[in-house]
Amino acid sequence: MKKIYAFESRCLGCRLCEVYCRTARFKSKDVVKAHKRKNITSAIIVEEVLGPNNISYFALQCRHCKNPKCIKACISGAMYKNDKGIVRNDSEKCVGCLSCILVCPFGVIKKNDDGKSVSKCDLCADFGEPFCVENCPNEAIKFLNEGEARALK
Amino acid sequence: MKKYLIIGNGAAGVNAAVAIRANDKTSSIKIISDEEFNFYGRPLISYYLSGQVKPENIYYRNEEFYKSKNIKVLLDTKAKKIDTVKKEVLTSLGERISYDKLLIATGSSPFIPLIKNLDFNRQKNVFTFLTYKDSIRLKEKITGNSKVVIAGAGLVGLKASEGLFGQVASITVVDLADRVMASVLDKSEADIIQEHIEQKFINFKLQMSICEVQGKSSVSEVTLSNGETFDCDILVVAVGVRPNVVLAKEAGINTLRGIVVDEYMQTSIKDVYAAGDCVESLDLFSSENNRVFALWPNASNQGEIAGFNMTGAKIKAPKIFAMNSISFFGLQLISAGVISDSRSSGVFVDSTKNKLHKLNIFNDNLIGFVLINDNQRAGIYTSLINDKTNLSALAYDITSKDIGFNVYSAEERTKKIFDCNGGY
């Protein structure tokens, strides 16, 4: 399956992906309005790597593990894997217990501000290509199959 | 075509059934459950009590789920006896169900301490709090005038108090320990939780036990070990659980505190497996002693591994360590591993009001952590415990700043991203 892969040498650390991730989660898909909405949580995380002389960056989001620990830990059945292999969270069922956050080895599930559910990357499955990838100004994140990603690494 | 039989319709049983079906598309899979409901999120029963989770949302998977996987569930059916020679299970309905591979996933039962005059069969206002049925009965019984006493300030007792909050006149929680969640937390962390809950006018009577109750057909008064007595309209007993081992033991299967299994989740008798709250698991932090862990993620994992192995796979179950993620009135607690200070050479506490961040480090390994209202990226800590990662090999000192995936080297990050298998 296709996933989002980050290319650290290309990442500017601009965090536009976070803005567009929030936009993807906002009904009207209006980037300005979504950016102002503090209660929409981004499901992509930009991290800094401190080198001896420089700072580099990478973006990280759900890896859609083959055998996800988050699903095993989920107490409500909100977390599930769909038939395409995408790990999704049903916010109607989620009670915000954060058991998924307790076990996610990548630390890429976030608590929503309402405290009643969590936010995680669903690869923008409901409307085409991931927004973060489409809007990255420097091709630092790409939507690829594993083989394609390995070839580029 | 094989016949798979699973006793227990909880996290272990259902995950086993799913794993079996993933590896074996044609064989018959049957689950026997002594409960009347389909698989539900057991920890959700306190959310049902509070009204936060509606009855339609308590079920873990929908009806279609069982149908599509062709898993047959016999509800309201108790397994009475296992005959491991004839390979059949006798049910409470008198039916004999034969199997080729059997999984015992019977879970645990509430432990009832000795309390003078307490009689669950006679007294109509005493409850345990482990099943959806318990929660439904309790919810029906409470009124705005109920004076509730909860025996046990552990996870279950405290969640019950949260579920009842606002619906009853008073709630008093009694526990023998000097703190809440004594099996999970040290005093300093427990005090933060307790003070937060006390703001909701829930009363605690610690270092005390209920030694006597008054009343025949219902309890009207409780007496504590210090001689104090008070009125009681509802008594909830939540002092812990014990693994359900009788069925296995009577069938000649090795049991100690829990059912004894090997690393493939097979019991002492061939073709009989066990998983979840009813078994003794290998403890990550002790090579000699096995422990009974009543933890949802553990039950799910063991069930799945048992299921795979029942179809002929050879997957070893990982060693287990305690882990909990739970909230009380908005205060979030996440903890894992060994918490107690006694074993650590370095405990780093960063606590402001209602926020705590404690890492327990021993011999260059993270062996436990407690986070209160500070949950971001806790799973990375859990991984460091699970993988026994040498902390000195990481990119920075984990006590020096908030943890991120950048704690790993670029090479390690790439490896983890491509290997993302999840569990085992």
| A75: CATH | 3.30.70.20
Sign of the torsion formed by the C-alpha atoms of B273, B275, B279 and B283 = positive
Give the chain A residue whose CA is nearest to the CA of B406: A49
Token pair, residue B61, equals 């998977």
Q: Do A129 and A103 belong together in one domain?
A: no
For residue A68, give the nearest of A40, A31, A99 by alpha carbon: A99
Give the CATH class of B330-419.
Answer: alpha beta
Q: Do A80 and A10 belong together in one domain?
A: no
Q: Which pLDDT band holds residue B344 (cuts at 50, 70, 90)? A: low
Q: How many domains does one find in chain A?
A: 2
pLDDT tens digits along B163-177: 999 999 999 999 999
Average pLDDT, chain B: 94
A125 touches chain B (CB under 8 A): no
Residues of A in contact with B13 (CB under 8 A): none
- Of the candidates A48, A65, A68, the beta carbon closest to that of B406 is on A48
Residue B332 has pLDDT above 60, yes or no: yes
For residue B385, give the nearest of B334, B328, B333 by alpha carbon: B334
Q: Do A37 and A71 belong together in one domain?
A: no
A81 touches chain B (CB under 8 A): no
Place of tokens 């909830």: B236
Instruction: Flag whether the ipTM exceeds 0.90.
Output: yes
Nearest-neighbour CA in chain B from A108: distance (Å):
7
Q: Do A129 and A57 belong together in one domain?
A: yes
Answer yes or no: do B61 and A76 touch at CB < 8 A. Answer: no
Q: Do A82 and A131 belong together in one domain?
A: no
> Using alpha carbons only, what angle is made at residue B387 by residues A89 and B327, rounded to the nearest 5 degrees?
40
CA-CA-CA-CA dihedral for B382, B386, B387, B391, to nearest 10: 50
Q: Spell out the SS3 assignment of chain B.
A: CCEEEEECCCHHHHHHHHHHHHHCCCCEEEEECCCCCCCECHHHHHHHHHCCCCHHHCECCCHHHHHHCCEEEECCCCEEEEECCCCEEEECCCCEEECCEEEECCCEEECCCCCECCCCCCCCCEEECCCHHHHHHHHHHCCCCCEEEEECCCHHHHHHHHHHCCCCCEEEEEECCCCCCCCCCCHHHHHHHHHHHHCCCEEEEECCCEEEEECCCCCCEEEECCCCEEECCEEEECCCEEECCHHHHHCCCCECCCEECCCCCECCCCCEEECCCCEEEEECCEEEEEECCCCHHHHHHHHHHHHHHHCCCCCCCCCECCEEEEEECCEEEEEEECCCHHHCCEEEECCECCEEEEEEEECCEEEEEEEECCCCCHHHHHHHHHCCCCHHHCCCCCCCCCCCHHHCCHHHHHHHHHHCCECC
> Using alpha carbons only, what angle is made at residue B174 by residues B169 and B179, rounded to the nearest 5 degrees?
120
Q: Do A47 and A84 belong together in one domain?
A: no
Residues of A in contact with B300 (CB under 8 A): 72-73
Mean pLDDT of A48-52: 92
- Of the candidates A45, A64, A99, the beta carbon closest to that of B297 is on A99
Q: Do A110 and A99 belong together in one domain?
A: yes
- B77, B92 contact by CB (below 8 A): yes
Give the chain B residue whose CA is nearest to the CA of A107: B377
The H or E element spanning position A107 is none
Residue B223 has pLDDT above 80, yes or no: yes
**Which residue blocks in chain A are alpha helix, DSSP H?**
16-24, 31-36, 69-73, 99-103, 131-134, 146-152
Answer yes or no: do A93 and B296 touch at CB < 8 A. Answer: no
pLDDT of residue B345: 60
Q: Where are the domains of chain B?
A: 3-109+242-310, 126-239, 330-419
Q: How far is CA B151 from the centre of its chain?
A: 18
How do B108-110 and B241-243 pair as beta strands? antiparallel
Residue type at position B418: F
Answer yes or no: do B327 and A67 touch at CB < 8 A. Answer: no
- Of the candidates A97, A106, A146, the beta carbon closest to that of B405 is on A106
Nearest-neighbour CA in chain A from B226: distance (Å):
36
Q: Do A89 and A127 belong together in one domain?
A: no
Nearest-neighbour CA in chain A from B246: distance (Å):
27
> Using alpha carbons only, what angle is made at residue B23 by residues B21 and B24, rounded to the nearest 5 degrees?
60
> CA–CA separation, B320 vs B266, rounded Å?
17
Mean pLDDT of B227-238: 97
pLDDT tens digits along B153-203: 999 999 999 999 999 999 999 999 999 999 989 998 999 999 999 999 999
Number of Cβ atoms within 10 Å of the Cβ of B201: 9
Place of tokens 């995408």: A86
Q: Exposure string (b/e) for A104-123, b if CB count within 10 Å is 16 or more? A: bbbbbbbbbeeeebbbbbbb
pLDDT of residue B343: 57
Nearest-neighbour CA in chain A from B381: distance (Å):
8
Mean pLDDT of B37-63: 95
pLDDT of residue A35: 80
> The domain containing residue A95 runs over which residues?
66-119
pLDDT of residue A36: 81
Q: Do A13 and A31 belong together in one domain?
A: yes
Residue range B3-109+242-310, CATH number: 3.50.50.60
Superfamily of the domain at B126-239: FAD/NAD(P)-binding domain (3.50.50.60)
Helix (H, G, I), strand (E, B) or coil at A35: helix
- B101, B2 contact by CB (below 8 A): yes
pLDDT of residue B340: 75
Give the chain B residue whose CA is nearest to the CA of A148: B418
> CA–CA separation, B362 vs B344, rounded Å?
5
Domains B3-109+242-310 and B330-419 agree in fold: no
